[in-house]
Structure 1
Amino acid sequence: MSPLIAIAITTGILSAIWGWIAVALGLISWVGFLGCTSYFASSGGYKALLQTMLCNVSGMLWALLLIHGDTWWGAGVAGYMMTGVVATLM
């Protein structure tokens, strides 16, 4: 397995867990996605700033999909599983 695939799968699993923990503790779950995308984009300089901003916008759009996606796949475990899938695809 390539390191990139391993990172994607790990990120997906951790994001699904974060989604569950955030809801259980009454936190705003999409903020975690912003932090995750910013972390992977930061390398310093102007280019990194642009990458971070684009990644944050992308993370917000993915989070909106997850937040409003429960009308398609329902709430509960399916929502957490979709969080893991979407985070892996990101």
Structure 2
Amino acid sequence: MSAIMSGAISMGILAWIWANLSAAVGVSTWAGFMGTTTYYASGERFIKGWVKGMIANMVGVLWAIICVEVSKVLHVPNIVAIMTGVISFGIVAEAKWKNLSFVPGVYIGCSTTFGMLALNGTYLSTVVALLMGSVVGLLSDAGGELLVRLTNKKETEENLVEKQG
């Protein structure tokens, strides 16, 4: 089986499990999928991709917290727009440091936080959803890899039997 098909099967099964599990435990399904998206967008696989994605997402959550909390304290016209410009500058500027260079992952964390807050979520509920969703991404990748190995091993064994017979 191809790596793409095995990955698709694994992701499909885990997405179904995630949608049921997240609803059952009260964690935002869509915010979790933002964690999954971050994992796959990281360009890395397994633990390296998970760590890269989670660092980026958590920094994004931190940027959102800064924006929201500063906006609450400073009573300046258009403060949210001003803070949006400030944090956007920061998100891109921090890319000069290798561990903070995954800009899309930072934006995903930041945007997910704003979305969760708009839906009466909290900072903590955002972090939990992103973390759980990133684990879904990691597990789906590992599951796809396992499926490739299992199916290719079977095909190899079948080919060997045909050649011997």
Greater Cα radius of gyration, structure 1 or 2: 2
| TM-score of the pair, normalised by structure 2 | 0.28
